[in-house]
């Protein structure tokens, strides 16, 4: 098949070439967790760790750690029962979010481990992390030339012609970047048998059992964990808690200790931008105008703005903000947060305490909550993500009786 070369020429290749795209439908899929892929990723991991630039980027190091052989073998054990033949669906076309440097690499690896040929659109913004990872991939491809057809990392400006062309080649399309990007990509049709995985706009919450928190010795560690869940991504990742729900019998004491610790850390580590204080005050007033009983809590400065609510309503998350803006709710019955969790935009529930306490809420049938994970782990990527079982969705299962 000859593809429109005018359109192809507008694509910039960080990994791979346009020749591979031209013959892409002829490339065969691999099996789920194929050994060649595991070896290739392990080599890539070593290349990343060898690169002196990597040390400056904890997100790059975390990624390299995740694709080591020992880590992938664990995933294999978890997601591959080897009872059936499972093959990659074919061509996976990934659109990575423009604002998270390393996300494209996780998406790529999900596509690779499931045996697919991958075309990954990386962020148009030139993050150094993208360069470090694509350099390592290119080095690994010299060592593993048989993998070349499976890894393409490309960059292009918003361009519907390119979206159309690559979507027409895809057996599965993976769209990150939220609602607007999804609706943009939906204008480009897929083949009848092709599937799509979309990562829409989501919000997340944290639930802290005050008694359990007070028992924790290393409160500074908790502050670090919470920082990584929130401020590290300007509290604007889909996984970042926008509200902290307090349970247990020592709510007031716990809040004081928790936020004092957090404040010290934020003051030390976070880069504040002038407009952020104005943004947060605006959101707090909008929430107050809408809902009775909202209180903007006393604060030293605009680094952390906390807004207490008397009850949790469905509308509250319309007024969510980022960069250190938290709603807080004192909760004596976990079912009272159901209005937030009913919405299918509700994604991660980060917790300190006993996860069993969420069972009544989960089995009540709420449409939200795809992950219940400890605070500090909300950003940890897994092959079941955002409610999608990626190994299942990115492979084809062959029935043989």
Minimum CB distance to other proteins, residue 208 (Å):
23
Q: Is 254 exposed, middle or buried (0-12, 13-18, 19+ CB in 10 A)?
A: buried
Q: How far is the CB of 322 from other proteins (least distance, A)?
A: 6
Chain residues 115-154 in contact with other proteins, contact rule CB under 8 A? none
Q: Which residues contact 311 (CB under 8 A, 6 or more apart)?
A: 293, 329, 336
Q: How far is the CB of 67 from other proteins (least distance, A)?
A: 21
Phi-psi region of 365 (alpha: psi -120 to 50; beta: other; left: phi over 0): left
Please say which residue, 80 or 279, places its beta carbon nearer to other proteins: 279
Query: Which residue of 99, 228, 336, 344 would you call a contact of other proteins, by CB under 8 A?
Result: 99
Instruction: Give the residue from 210, 237, 86, 88 showing the smallest Cα distance to 151.
Output: 88
Closer by beta carbon to other proteins, 134 or else 276: 276
For residue 179, the Cα-to-chain-centroid distance in whole angstroms is 14
- Taking the complex as a whole, the smallest distance from the CB of residue 110 to other proteins amounts, in Å, to 15
Q: Which C-beta is closer to other proteins: that of 209 or that of 328? A: 328
Closest to other proteins by CB, 77 vs 128, is 128
CB-wise, 16 or 97, nearer to other proteins?
A: 97
| Minimum distance from residue 158 beta carbon to other proteins (Å) | 10
Q: Is 302 among the residues that bind other proteins (CB under 8 A)?
A: yes
Please give the structure tokens belonging to residue 198.
Answer: 């979309």
Nearer to other proteins among residue 127 and residue 144 (C-beta): 127
32 closest CA partner among 150, 145, 111, 107: 111
The answer to the question of residue 388 lying near other proteins (CB under 8 A) is no
From the list 92, 274, 281, the residue with the least C-alpha distance to 171 is 92
Q: What is the Cα–Cα distance from 335 to 395, expressed in whole angstroms?
A: 37
To the nearest whole angstrom, how small is the minimum distance from the Cβ of residue 100 to other proteins?
6
The residue count for the chain:
401
Alpha carbon 218 to its chain centroid, in Å, reads: 27
The residue from 278, 310, 335, 359 that contacts other proteins (CB under 8 A) is 278
- From the list 45, 323, 348, 395, which residue makes contact with other proteins (rule: CB under 8 A)? 323
Q: How far apart are CA 123 and CA 77, in angstroms?
A: 32
Site stretch for other proteins (CB under 8 A), options 95-103, 208-216, 218-226, 364-372: 95-103
Query: Closest approach of Cβ 291 to other proteins, in Å?
Result: 8
Shortest distance in whole angstroms from residue 178 CB to other proteins: 3
Calpha distance 19→2 (Å, rounded): 10
Q: Does 288 bind other proteins (CB under 8 A)?
A: yes
Interface positions, 231-260, toward other proteins (CB under 8 A) = 233-234, 236-239
Helix extents (H) in 127-198:
128-143, 160-169, 179-185
Determine the size of the site formed for other proteins (CB under 8 A): 49
Exposure string over 179-198, b if 16+ CB within 10 A, otherwise e: eebbeebeebebeeebebbb
- Judged by CB under 8 A, the stretch of 29-37, 206-214, 251-259, 283-291 that binds other proteins is 283-291
The Cα–Cα gap between 344 and 366 comes to 8
Residue 36 in the binding site for other proteins (CB under 8 A): no
Minimum separation from the CB atom of position 24 to other proteins (A): 26
Q: Based on the number of CB atoms within 10 Å of its own CB, is 344 exposed (0-12), middle (13-18) or buried (19 or more)?
A: middle
Determine which residue in the list 289, 398, 399, 400 makes contact with other proteins, applying CB under 8 A: 289
Distance in angstroms (rounded) separating the CA atoms of residues 383 and 396: 16
- With respect to other proteins, which residue has the nearer C-beta, 20 or 284? 284
Q: Which of the residues 154 through 183 are near other proteins (CB under 8 A)?
A: 176-181
Q: DSSP E strands: which ranges in 309-362?
A: 325-330, 346-352
Binding site for other proteins (CB under 8 A): 97-100, 103, 176-181, 199, 201-202, 233-234, 236-239, 272-279, 281-282, 284-292, 294-296, 300-303, 307, 322-323
């Amino acid at each position: 098949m000859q593809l429109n070369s005018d359109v192809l020429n507008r694509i910039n290749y960080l990994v791979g070439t346009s020749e591979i795209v031209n013959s892409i439908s002829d490339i065969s899929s691999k099996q789920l967790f194929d050994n060649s892929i595991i070896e290739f990723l392990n080599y890539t991991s070593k290349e990343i760790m060898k690169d002196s630039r990597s040390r400056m980027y904890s997100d790059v190091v975390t990624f390299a750690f995740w694709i080591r052989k020992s880590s992938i073998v664990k995933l294999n054990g978890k997601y591959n029962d080897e009872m059936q033949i499972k093959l990659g669906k074919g061509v996976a076309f990934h659109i990575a979010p423009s604002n998270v440097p390393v996300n494209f690499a996780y998406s790529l690896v999900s596509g690779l481990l499931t045996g697919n040929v991958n075309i990954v659109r990386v962020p148009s913004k030139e993050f150094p992390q993208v360069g470090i990872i694509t350099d390592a991939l290119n080095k690994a491809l010299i060592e593993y030339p048989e993998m070349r057809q499976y890894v393409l990392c490309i960059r292009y400006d918003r361009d519907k012609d390119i979206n159309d062309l690559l979507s027409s080649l895809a057996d599965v399309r993976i769209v990150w970047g939220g609602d607007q990007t999804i609706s943009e990509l939906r204008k480009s049709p897929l083949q009848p048998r092709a599937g799509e995985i979309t990562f829409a706009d989501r919000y997340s919450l944290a639930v802290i059992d005050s008694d359990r928190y007070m028992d924790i010795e290393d409160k500074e560690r908790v502050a670090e964990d919470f920082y990584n869940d929130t401020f590290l991504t300007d509290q604007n990742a889909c996984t970042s808690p926008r509200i902290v729900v307090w349970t247990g019998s020592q709510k007031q004491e716990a809040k004081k200790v928790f936020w004092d610790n957090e404040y010290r850390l934020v003051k030390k580590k976070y880069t504040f931008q002038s407009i952020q204080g104005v943004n947060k005050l605006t959101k707090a007033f909008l929430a107050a105008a809408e809902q009775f009983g909202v209180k903007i809590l006393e604060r030293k400065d605009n680094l952390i703005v906390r807004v207490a609510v008397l009850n949790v309503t469905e509308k509250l998350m319309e007024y969510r903000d980022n960069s250190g803006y938290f709603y807080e709710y004192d909760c004596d019955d976990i079912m009272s947060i159901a209005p937030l969790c009913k919405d299918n935009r509700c994604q991660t529930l980060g917790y300190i305490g006993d996860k069993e306490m969420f069972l009544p809420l989960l089995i009540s049938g709420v449409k939200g909550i795809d992950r219940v994970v400890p605070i500090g782990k909300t950003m940890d990527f897994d092959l079941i993500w955002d409610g999608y079982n990626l190994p299942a969705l990115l492979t084809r299962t062959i029935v043989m009786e």
